[in-house]
Structure 1
Amino acid sequence: IYGGFALFLVILFRMVIYRCLRRLLSLGFGANNILVLGATEAGRKIAEALAKTPERGQRVVGFVDERFQVMEHEFANVPVLGKYADLASLIKKYKVTGIIIAHESSSPQEIMRVLVWVCDQPVHIYLVPELYSVVHGRFKANLVYGFELQELFAFTMPLWQVRVKRVIDILFGAFLGLISFPVCVLAAIAIKLEDRGPVFYSQERIGLYGKPFTVYKFRTMRTDAEKFGAQWATKDDPRITKVGKFLRKTRIDELPQILCVLKGDMSMVGPRPERAVFIAKLREEIPFYISRLKMKPGLTGWAQVCHHYDTSTEDVKIKLRYDMYYFENMSLLLDFQILVRTVYVVLTGKGAQ
C-alpha cells in the first residue's frame, strides 16, 4: 500500500510540475530567444507555428536577412533586425540561444555560406526540413522537441559528464604536471645550453567560441623561425633545433600547456588549438572548419592520435573529419580511449614532426 501510494504521489507531483512549467512557458517566462535566418515563406511558417505553441519554449525575437536594407523591417509580425554580418552583435544583444536557418536558396554553397556565419557562435543551430537534405549525411541531426526542425552540430555530451570532464582535467592535469616536473627542468636546461635562447615561447591561440588565450610550449625552433611570418612545420624542418626535434618526437614540448588546462582555457582532450592567422585562412578554404570552435581545445585529441602534424591544407581537412567525429560522439569513455592511445603515440613517437 505504501509503495502504491508513493508511486501515485510521484506521478501526481510530476504532472503538477509539468503543467506549471507549460503554463509559465505559455506566458513567456523562461523561453529561449530564437533568430530566424531568412525572411522566407519557410521562415514565416516556423515563426507562426512557434507563436501558436509558446509552451514549446521557443520565442522568435526577429528575422535576419541579407535584403535588410531594401525590405520592410517587419515580417510575419516579427521585426527584421539586420543582415548575417550583424549576427554576432544580435546574438549578444537579444541573448539568443538558437538560430533557425530558413534560407531561400537550396544551393549547398549558399547553405554553407550561411552556416559559416553562425557555427562558431554559442547557440543551437536548427535547419528547416526543406534544407536538411542539402547537408544530409554530413552532420548528425536530431528532431527538436518533436517539431519539424533539425539541429546541426548538436552537443550530445550529458551535463554531468561535462562537469566530470572538468574535474578530471584539473586532477589529471595537476598529477601530470607534478610527475613531469623533473623532465621539464631537464628540457629547460637542454634548450638553454643549445643556443642560449629563451626556454619557452608563447602564442595567442583561439579557444572555445573564438575566445583568444595564450598557450605556452617549450621552444623547439630557432629564435628567428618566423621572421618571414607564420607558417606550418614541414617534414625535416630546418628551423627545428636538435633538442627541439627530440622534444617534439616525445611530445615533451607540449607539457607547459598543462597550465592552460588548469586555467580552463584548454581540456586534456579536444581539438588542437589553432592560431588566428590560420583560422582566418582555413575558414575560407574549408567549409565548417570554424565549427571546431564549438569545442574546448585539448592537449591531445582524436585527430592528434589518428593523424600526424598539419603540414598542408589537405592535412587540416583530414583532421577536421576526426574533430567532427569527436564532437558528435563526445563522452568520458571516448576521452579515456584517446588518453590511452596518446600514451602509445608518445612511447612510439608516431606522427611526430
Structure 2
Amino acid sequence: MNTFAQSLTQKDIFNFLFFVPIFWCILHTFSGAYFNPYRKSRIIEVYRTLIISILGTILFYFFIFIDDDHNDIHYYYKSFFIYFILQFGATSFGRFLVLNHIKNQINNGKFGYNTLIIGGNTQAVQLYKEIVLNRVKLGYIFKGFVYAYDSGNNGLNEFLPKLGSVDELEKIIDDHHIEEIIIAIDTSEHDKLQSILAQLSHRKVIIKITPDLYDIISGSVKTSNVFGTVLIEIYPELMPDWQRVLKRTIDIVVSVLVMIIFSPLYIFAAIKVKLSSPGTIFYKQERIGIYGKPFWIYKFRSMKQNAEDKGPALSSESDPRITKWGKVMRKWRIDEIPQFFNILKGEMSLVGPRPERKYYIDIISETYPHYKYLHKVKPGLSSWGMVKYGYAENVNQMIERMKYDLLYIKNCSLVLDFKIMIYTIIVILQGRGK
C-alpha cells in the first residue's frame, strides 16, 4: 500500500506550493487574524487558529485530496489528520511566538496606547492607581486627563496633566494622538456619559467605561478583565472582521466590473454633459467620510457651472440650476456612477449613509449630536435612508432621512447591505431618482 508521502503527485506538490499559501492567507484574513496584532490575546488567537484550521482543512481536503485514485478510507483519515496537525501546529506555534514577542514589548514599555482618562471623582484616581501599580503592564500610556465637567478636583492632577475641558475632546485626541479613552464617572451622571459618547461617536478610538455604566450605553461592547479592573470596551467597528473584509472585497469587485461593463455609458454621459451646457464634465465636492475625514466626491455635472457661487444650497426637483440632461441623469441616478471610483479608492462603500458637506453636518449636529454616529461607517453610494426616504431638499428632510440611516448603523450587517442593494436596483429601474 502506498504511503501518504508516496501518493503525492507533481500536481499535488504544485498545489501545495502555490495554492495552499494563498488559500490559507485568504481564510485567515477573513477571520481577522491579521488585524490589530498588538491588541490580540494569545489564548484567543490559538483558539481562533484551531477553528480556522479545522474549517480550512475540511474545505481544502474535499477540494484537493479526495479523488478516485484511492478507495482505502484509512488513507483519507490519515491524510486529513496529518495535514491538520501540520497546519495547525505550524500556524499556532508561529502566531504564538509573534504575539508573545508583542506582549514582551508591551510589558517592557516599548509599545503602548496613548490613553486619556475622563473622570470627575475619586473613582478615576482609584482606577488609575490600580492600572499603573499592576505588576503586569497593560499597554496604557497615560497622556493626561480631563474633568467630566468644567470644574472639579478628583486628585488626578497629582499624577497626570490636565489636557483641557471635555468640550475640547476632539482637539485633545488629535493633538495627543489618543487611541483609548477611559471614562470613570458616577452612575448618576448618565446625561454626561451620553453626551461624551455622542461627541466621540465618529472618532476611531476605543472607549472603556466602568461596569456600573453598562446599562446606559448601547452598541458593540466587550467585557475586559484588566487584572482586577473590569472595564467594558466599546469598539468602533460595527461589523465582525470577516464581514468587513468581505464587504470591502465586494466593493472592489463590483466597482471594477461596473467601470468596465458600463464604460460605454460613462463615455455617453460625459459627451452629453459636455454638450448640454458649458463647463466641466465632472463635478467634485468635499464631503465628510468615515471618522470625520474629508474626501472629494465625484459626480457627472448635472447643474449649470458654478451653481453654488452664492453658498451651499440643496437642490429640489424644480431647481432651475439643473440642466435638461441633468434631470435625466438624476432620474436614473447616472450622475452618481463616477462614485465607483470613490468606492475603489476606499473612501466610500456600495452601502452606507450618504456623505454630506461639513456645512450641513454642523447645522444638524447642533440640534441632533447623534448625527455624527453616521460617521462610524464609510459613506455609501446608496443607503437605507435613500431607499426609504430619497433625496433631501432641506435640512428638515435630511434629519428625517438620518433616522433611517441610524437604524442602519444599529443593525449593520452584510445581509442588510444586500437587501439595500436589491431595493436600490429596483428604485433605479423604476426611475424613481430625483
Q: What's the TM-score bracket when you normalise by the shorter of the two chains? A: 0.7 to 0.9
SS in 1 for 2:196: helix
CA-to-aligned-CA distance 1:74-118 (integer Å, 9 cap, x gap):
447344333235534543455432212334684555334433442
Contact 1:32/1:57 (<8 A) preserved: no
SS in 2 for 1:273: coil
Contact 1:112/1:288 (<8 A) preserved: no
TM-superposed CA distance for 1:54, in Å, is 6.5
Q: Which residue of 2 aligns with 1:273?
A: 355
In structure 2, relative to structure 1, the CA distance for the partners of 1:129 and 1:166 (3 Å cut) is same
Q: What does 1:166-181 correspond to in 2, within 5 Å?
A: 166-181=248-263
* Residues 1:155 and 2:240 aligned together: no
TM-superposed CA distance for 1:123, in Å, is 0.3
SS in 1 for 2:179: strand
CA distance in 1, matches of 2:184, 2:420: 38
In structure 2, relative to structure 1, the CA distance for the partners of 1:170 and 1:149 (3 Å cut) is same
Q: Which residue of 2 aligns with 1:143?
A: 223
CA distance in 2, matches of 1:184, 1:13: 49
In structure 2, relative to structure 1, the CA distance for the partners of 1:224 and 1:131 (3 Å cut) is same
TM-superposed CA distance for 1:325, in Å, is 3.5
Contact 1:44/1:76 (<8 A) preserved: no
CA distance in 2, matches of 1:311, 1:69: 42
Q: What does 1:1-353 correspond to in 2, within 5 Å?
A: 27-28=108-109, 30-51=111-132, 53=134, 55=136, 57=138, 59=140, 61=142, 62-65=144-147, 74-75=156-157, 77-92=159-174, 94-103=176-185, 106=188, 109-135=191-217, 139-145=219-225, 148-152=230-234, 154-350=236-432, 352-353=433-434
Return the index of the structure with the highest Cα Rg. Answer: 2
TM-superposed CA distance for 1:299, in Å, is 1.5
For structure 1, list consecutive stretches of 5 or more residues without a partner in the other structure: none
Contact 2:343/2:350 (<8 A) preserved: yes
Once structures 1 and 2 are overlaid, which stretch shifts more, 247-256 or 327-336?
Answer: 327-336
Contact 1:33/1:98 (<8 A) preserved: yes
SS in 2 for 1:288: helix
CA distance in 1, matches of 2:214, 2:391: 34
Once structures 1 and 2 are overlaid, which stretch shifts more, 336-345 or 62-71?
Answer: 62-71
Percent identity between the aligned chains?
A: 34
Give the aligned residue type for 1:291: Y
Give the aligned residue type for 1:167: T
Question: How many residues of Structure 1 are paired with residues of Structure 2 in the alignment?
Answer: 350
CA-to-aligned-CA distance 1:176-218 (integer Å, 9 cap, x gap):
1112221122222323333334322111111222222111111
In structure 2, relative to structure 1, the CA distance for the partners of 1:33 and 1:337 (3 Å cut) is same
Give the aligned residue type for 1:59: Y
TM-superposed CA distance for 1:66, in Å, is 6.4
For structure 2, list consecutive stretches of 5 or more residues without a partner in the other structure: 1-83
CA distance in 2, matches of 1:22, 1:196: 62
Give the aligned residue type for 2:420: I
CA-to-aligned-CA distance 1:12-59 (integer Å, 9 cap, x gap):
999999988777655546544431112423323432343355658352
Give the aligned residue type for 2:379: P
Q: Please give the TM-score of this superposition, normalised by the length of structure 1.
A: 0.80
Once structures 1 and 2 are overlaid, which stretch shifts more, 300-309 or 168-177?
Answer: 300-309
SS in 2 for 1:115: helix
Contact 1:34/1:58 (<8 A) preserved: no
CA distance in 2, matches of 1:205, 1:289: 15
In structure 2, relative to structure 1, the CA distance for the partners of 1:90 and 1:341 (3 Å cut) is same
In structure 2, relative to structure 1, the CA distance for the partners of 1:153 and 1:328 (3 Å cut) is farther
Aligned-residue RMSD, C-alpha: 3.8
Contact 2:199/2:369 (<8 A) preserved: no
Give the aligned residue type for 1:38: G
Q: Please give the TM-score of this superposition, normalised by the length of structure 2.
A: 0.67
SS in 1 for 2:313: coil
